[in-house]
Structure 1
């Protein structure tokens, strides 16, 4: 393996690792040599798909559960992770979405999405990032979104949260780059996962989205693998505060 992309001996935390993009990210990091701590609200203690994939790559896997909509649970998770020690890579991927027109969007949906997609990610980054800064090295990767750049339709809370993730990425990078901690984000395009099921099942929206993607297809979770390894590896040591689209060319249209 090229040393610039070798993660051997490192430990990566991936939130939302049970399925979809998080599962693909965890597998990619393990294939590059990292041991994985997977976090999800409903992650099986043993026998999960992510555990099998990490094990197939020859790496160690640890499963943790946490409800990221609960601030106290997030704080406990951060304490548990710091107690394990030596977190080299933090992938803030876990997220949720609530679809409703803005004029009908409930307070509860707004609060839930902001807590899971933005507040919990700041709390984890603050607590784990503090340890990284003290050690003088570390990588933090957020999962942003096309809606970190655009407004979207019927997802005001999600758009606000993902726009906040883009700003948080830059803010933390500004403070921590000089301490050897790289903070960046990946902005997936339209990826075929459970979060986009409503769009995939809507023939009008599905067709409109597909017609705008220059690559001519929806993305797959494993399309995020290369960008994840790059931002976690020494290859990106001089990359700070970037929101990297992996979108099949959507934003270039």
Structure 2
């Protein structure tokens, strides 16, 4: 909290981003909405190269430690929207719960592509989920973060931190403009277990549908909360075993043999069966 340079840099970036304000780009029947949050993230990335000597390693470490605090305030604000809309959210609870099975899509899409481009067991850690903090902890506990699986989950975590938020924001805007999906459904889909990604998606949707702002933020926050609660269990019981099974299948298809056995950090051996 004593890093005044960091707070000054953040203040400048926020002022510049708010000055740019929301940019709406009409495309066909719809539009792409670019929020100030997106510009702030882009500017933040641009000031981090070492040769610019603007933000150093300590600044970035300090900024990372403050993310949790700021997101707590943000989630408290979203929580005030959940209460008044709770009856409707309860009615929609089956949809909120079932949408968690959409996380399996990362396995079904990511594992085959990862093996095809030459990844080995890194693809299990990287493709079993969206690789947020709980998933990093899960892979670290099961395989160790110095393992190929650990390298995979950390790689996706870093990429998601840098590019995930602006990607979700632009994707939500595109889907709202060019698909028949309801804004509430898109709000639920934005709650992937990352507060920053959810905020980007919800912010874009509320900019496009200001008359639905209360319900959109409530559905997004509720979905994100449920993703945080049951996402780990989904990974443990379904996504991670499925990722390992698909990895063996895809590896055998590409290389004509089963992957070599692996010894985990707990000294248990995975022999890679022929299933």
- Answer whether TM exceeds 0.5 for this pair: no
If the length of structure 1 is used for normalisation, what is the TM-score? 0.26
Q: Which has the higher strand share?
A: 1
If the length of structure 2 is used for normalisation, what is the TM-score? 0.25
Which of the pair has more CA radius of gyration? 2
